[in-house]
Amino acid sequence: MFTGHIHDYLYCPNVCQNQHGFENLDECCGCKARPCWDLEMEDPNINCGVRYGHLILEFKNPISTVATHSDSIPKSSNYSVIYGLRCVLCKLRYLPENLCNFTNGLIDVDLSHNKLSEVDAIKCLTNLDTLNLGFNHIIHFKNTTLHEMNYLRVLRLDGNNLANLDANTLNIRHGNILFVDVSYNHFETLDITNLHRAGFFCALNISNMNIKSITNDAHFKFDENKTYGPGDTFVYNTYGYSLLNYTDAGITDIKKTGKILLGAIFFKNSPFSCDCALVPYIMELKFWIVNFFNLTDYQLVCNEPLRVRNRSLYEIIINEDYSELSCELPNCPFAPDKNYPSGNCSQRAECTCSDDQFHGRVIVNCSNLDEMPGNLPVGHWNNQNIELNINGSTITHIDSRPYLDRTVALRMLDVPLSDITKTALQAMPNDIQLSIDSQQITLLSEGFLKMNPYQIQFGKNPVTCTCDNLWIGTWIRSKGKREQLLCRTTHGVIDAYDVDHIVLDCTWHYDSQLWAIVGLVTVTLVFTSVGALFWCMFRYEMLILKRKYLPCKQEHYPYTTDVFISFYSANPYVFTYMERFLRPMLITEGYSVFDSFHDIEYNEEDFDFQLTQAVSKCKNFLIILCEDYLTDEKTCLEFDTIWKHFEHISHRPVIIVNFNSADSSEISDRRIRAFLRLKQDLNFNNTNTQLIEELKARLCAPIASAQEDEEERVAFA
């Protein structure tokens, strides 16, 4: 024997030096190791420096217990003292009150076959090696109970009343719990995090339950740089187990599954769900499935779907007979009603939806419909393609539906279809297989032009062909064939393949009036196009010039502020200029000033509202343009709000002070660039006096001054 790497008190057999059928030494040691205190009892020559003692339970009253030592082990520096607690069939309802007093030394607990229902307090025993809580009355086992048990090697929760295990219940901080038994519970689902854990394990027993599906409640994603396993999972006498879609859980390529998921699952008397979810695996990873499920050693029969019930999965895989491994999909419109009597005089609308992974289609069969289904489901593995078969229905009209773009085949038998809208045709794939043998279409829509006529069966009913839709004959001749579509013409019913202007005697007469109209239309279109292009390129310049030549109007309402100043406050030079010169100068000249830095808290929730209110009450807008302007959300909001008012109210000027003397080619915003192109900006390099004079010339008179003039005028009158 030699010391292993899993636990200081675990000893590995010598056979593990040769790995003995395991991938590496750690796996063999973990699964075959034995605690040294067991070995000491068998061989007195083994001394691992441990003394093993027992705890017993004393009942304080009929339902309360405490743990005490059953024997006295003298303390010594030559060995450590550890304890085990075993109380089987003790009718315990609660854990011992003082159990956490033995956190350091208690390593083995067996409280099986009792009446325990709440066991979360046991999480304090962080040094446990073995925990057996089998055959109690546990209903819920929290996923935090085991997380700090770094040395837990054996866990038994079998024979309880657990409906499931929360995600990550079996995860501990370091490594894996090597032996886990949760059999004989009431599971209907099993979370993927409890089925697949990173690293190796020895055995997971999920037998004798009704597990119908593997779930992923925590949205777990596999790390493709890790391996999950190897280890043996036992699924005996378990009904309805099915395989998970591992690509939904982070395995990007299904072919990688065999390199990420290691180990084996052993089935015995456990019917398997051989449905569509299995098909991609057995098509891409046939030999991995055979080995992972031990199909050569254990007979695994299919339970679902019904058409393959009791068939051997191994034989299906070897014979590559996958065509019947389909799934009935939920969310199918007009699903069959089992309570509706068959043969009823008034036939009920009905559809069935099955996922055919082998052919990569969702097969939808419908009957007795009076309109197209509203929506159709997507299959497993994101199987999008739809094959829609409609039989014996009264549908006369096909309009747009959200699934038409993924419909690869549409077959309508005994359906008097009279119209397919252009929108519906545009949504359909170009190479859709379309069979409308019973169609009653009169005029064929030009939407058919994009489709491959060879893939369409029109039946025997002719469509109308005239000189106005000669494209039908050209279209059929391009990729179609004879007798594919019939045309009703003035010469009777003929093959659409033969339709052209000669057969239909199509002639066109041109006169001078027609040419005059064509010329006039052409000239109009040219001038319109040039005008539209000119407007598109220079619409901002034209708006600015229009505003420039409007007189400055004196209005008292609704303006309460003379100037709104927008500037980038994080630029230290702009901020200093604003604080020490521009703002004080305007105030000295009698102008009332508003800017968001001083007058609005930017982080307020109603900043947009306050900004809009302030701009609407300002008479003039002053922009301090620097290289940082419009690079932050605040100045963008300010300028957009200013521009909206400038566009719609003619007498409210926008004045730009070009702080960095930028050229129009350096400005990305087309609105500001238009001001610079027209030389409508004020140059910051001018002297302060000159800049003041130019600015005052652009601004209307201060509101207060205008009011005083008006009052004097009224008094004089």
Picking from 14-28, 209-223, 301-315, 345-359, which range would have the lowest pLDDT averaged per residue?
Answer: 14-28
Mean pLDDT across the stretch 405-433?
Answer: 94
pLDDT score, position 681 = 82
* Burial zone of 368 (CB within 10 Å; 0-12 exposed, 13-18 middle, 19+ buried): middle
Compute the distance between CA of residue 483 and CA of residue 499 in angstroms, rounded to an integer: 12
SS3 state of residue 674: helix
Q: Could you tell me which of 265, 206, 257, 258 has the C-alpha nearest to residue 231?
A: 265
Positions of E strands within 213-360: 213-215, 232-236, 264-268, 272-273, 302-304, 327-328, 350-356
State yes or no: pLDDT of 7 exceeds 60. Answer: no
Mean pLDDT across the stretch 418-429?
Answer: 93
The single-letter code of the amino acid at 358 is F
Pull the structure tokens for residue 64.
């309360």
pLDDT score, position 125 = 94
Tell me the pLDDT tens digit for each residue of 642-680. Answer: 888 888 776 788 888 888 878 878 888 888 888 888 888
Tell me the pLDDT tens digit for each residue of 172-195. Answer: 877 789 999 999 999 988 999 999
State yes or no: pLDDT of 600 exceeds 50. Answer: yes
Q: Could you tell me which of 351, 407, 384, 379 has the C-alpha nearest to residue 279?
A: 379
Pull the structure tokens for residue 133.
């809580």
Tell me the pLDDT tens digit for each residue of 708-717. Answer: 655 555 454 4
User: For the whole model, what pTM was predicted?
Assistant: 0.59
Of 288 and 75, the one with more pLDDT = 288
Of 158 and 271, the one with more pLDDT = 158
- Phi-psi category of residue 472: left, alpha or beta, with phi > 0 → left and psi -120 to 50 → alpha: alpha
Cα→Cα distances 600→68, 228, 565, 610, 638, Å: 71, 57, 13, 7, 12
Percent of the chain with pLDDT over 70: 88
Mean of all residue pLDDT scores within the chain: 84
Predicted confidence band at 509 (pLDDT cuts at 50, 70, 90)?
very low
Mean pLDDT across the stretch 134-140?
Answer: 96
Mean pLDDT across the stretch 360-367?
Answer: 93
Predicted confidence band at 2 (pLDDT cuts at 50, 70, 90)?
very low
Of 203 and 344, the one with more pLDDT = 203
Predicted confidence band at 331 (pLDDT cuts at 50, 70, 90)?
confident
pLDDT score, position 5 = 36
Predicted confidence band at 396 (pLDDT cuts at 50, 70, 90)?
very high
Pairing of strands 80-86, 106-110: parallel
Where helices occur in 417-470 by DSSP H, the ranges are 422-427
